Amino acid sequence: MTAPAEALILDFGGVISRTMFETHAATEKALGLAAGTLTWQGPFAPEADPLWLSMQADKITEREYWQTRTAEVGKLVGKDWSAMSDLVIAARGNAPREIIRPEALTAIQTAKQAGKKLAILSNELDLFYGKSFKTKLPFMSDFDVIVDATYTGVLKPLPEAYLDCLQQLELAPEQCVFVDDQLRNITGAKSVGLQTVHFDVKNPDHSYTEALDLMGLSNQETSHA
């Protein structure tokens, strides 16, 4: 029987924060767009989002998907947005805590209280959210390690991305649980020996329960941070 994991490694977008798809109404309000203007739904309605299907089929990268959406929304508001963070800052910059999943805060608190290590492994944390975003989130100080490919240039699912995070945690792959909403990144994590949870953005509570169970923590009672 596998021993309980000693570290929880989380992707950020979609796992810790709600996806942009889930917050269309708030984005439309923040940008002064009519309700229902933003129709792309990604994993919530993939058949109606050909660009998302192209990304899932590895015809375009995740960065290319969001660069396209950012430019599209920019045109709707008369802006020439080229950086992915332009959209996120405009839509979420004033209230970043409102888009953080409560399930994520509970899991982070549970792991921290149990003495487990915490890490973020993101392909574009600052590139997508802007450099100041994480400074507005008090819980970010709970993380022992943050590896952001905005700066390293090494993107998941390359093995080196996971190995860099593991080296900083000073733990073996089997001692860590990695959580990500993109299957390609889960496949990459498995290739280096990490325990994994493929995060379901439509059922975040179940995914976090699964992760905590691998850490021997799923039955602990906690309150949202």
* pLDDT tens per residue across span 118-175: 999 999 999 999 998 999 999 999 999 999 999 999 999 999 999 999 999 999 999 9
pTM for the full predicted model: 0.92
Task: Give the model's pLDDT for residue 95.
Answer: 78
Our CA dihedral for 27, 29, 34, 38, rounded to 10 degrees, sits at: 10
pLDDT of 225 reads: 39
Residue 223 pLDDT > 90: no
Map residue 124 onto helix, strand or coil. Answer: coil
Q: Is the pLDDT of residue 222 over 50?
A: no
Tally the residues of the chain. Answer: 225
Strand, coil or helix: 167: helix
Residue 169 has φ and ψ, to the nearest 5°, of -75, -20
- What is the predicted pLDDT for the residue at 219? 57
Q: How confident is the model at residue 1 (pLDDT cuts 50, 70, 90)?
A: low
pLDDT of amino acid 22:
96
CATH number (3.40.50.300, 3.20.20.70, 3.20.20.80, 3.40.50.1000) of 7-17+100-214 reads 3.40.50.1000
Q: Does pLDDT of 224 surpass 80?
A: no
What does the domain layout of the chain look like in residue ranges? 7-17+100-214, 20-95
Distances (CA, A) of 151 to 12, 124, 154: 15, 9, 8
Those residues with Cβ within 8 angstroms of residue 217's Cβ, 6 or more apart along the chain or in another chain: 4, 110, 111, 114, 116
Per-residue pLDDT tens over the stretch 22-43: 999 999 999 999 999 999 999 9
* Average pLDDT value for residue range 61-72: 95
Q: What is the pLDDT of residue 218?
A: 76
Q: How far is CA 84 from CA 102, 157, 208, in A?
A: 25, 20, 27
On the question of pLDDT at 93 being above 80, the answer is: no
